[in-house]
């Protein structure tokens, strides 16, 4: 009986010291962006790439297109995307966006002092280039 009392005391002590153990619901994801897109790869296999980039103050990307949609999540700063025939979009830290395929575009960090840091998610047919520069 002594052993059982000791175990009960240990469990009670854990719950008293760590109430989060007894009260925490299961972890769940927080939806940041959900968008229906066209132009995803349709082959039997796809290659998933996750990249990071830092865009320094005043810096821009090359003028380019993507063959498949690109999802961008802003970690720090703000990112302005200019797409041919569309309004410019500015996305700030904690926000995300989808860049459409086959649209001419370039991105900017318009800040004079703060870098922009992004995470980029790209799903494509294997060995597809991330972007196609426009000359």
- Give the integer Cα–Cα distance in Å for 60 and 110: 9
Q: Domain containing 106 — which CATH number?
A: 2.60.120.10
* Model pLDDT, residue 7: 53
- Give the integer Cα–Cα distance in Å for 107 and 78: 10
Residue 27, domain member (yes or no): no
* Model pLDDT, residue 23: 84
Residues 6+ apart with CB under 8 A from 85: 103
Residue 2, domain member (yes or no): no
Region of 20 (left: φ > 0; alpha: ψ -120 to 50; beta: rest) is alpha
Tokens of residue 118, six digits: 């992004």
Mean pLDDT by 10 residues, the chain (135 residues): 55 58 85 92 95 98 97 98 96 97 97 98 96 95
pTM for the full predicted model: 0.79
Residue 117, helix vs strand vs coil: strand
Residue 82, domain member (yes or no): yes
Per DSSP, 16 falls in state: H
User: What does the DSSP assignment read for 70-113?
Assistant: EEEEEEESEEEEEETTS--EEEETT-EEEEPTT--EEEE---SS
Residue 3, helix vs strand vs coil: helix
Range of the domain at 60: 47-133
* Model pLDDT, residue 130: 96
Residue 66, domain member (yes or no): yes
Tally of domains in the chain: 1
Residue 37, domain member (yes or no): no
């Amino acid at each position: 009986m002594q052993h059982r009392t000791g175990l009960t005391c240990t469990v009670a002590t854990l719950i008293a010291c760590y109430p989060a153990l007894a009260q925490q619901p299961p972890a769940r994801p927080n939806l940041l962006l959900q968008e229906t897109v066209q132009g995803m790869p349709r082959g039997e296999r796809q290659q998933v790439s996750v990249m990071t980039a830092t865009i320094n103050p005043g810096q821009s990307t090359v003028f380019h297109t993507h063959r498949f949609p690109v999802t961008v999540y802003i970690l720090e700063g703000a990112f302005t995307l200019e797409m041919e025939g569309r309004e410019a979009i500015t996305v700030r830290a904690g926000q995300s966006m989808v860049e459409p395929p086959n649209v001419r575009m370039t991105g900017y960090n318009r800040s004079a002092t703060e870098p922009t840091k992004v995470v980029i998610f790209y799903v494509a047919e294997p060995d597809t280039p991330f972007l196609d520069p426009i000359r």
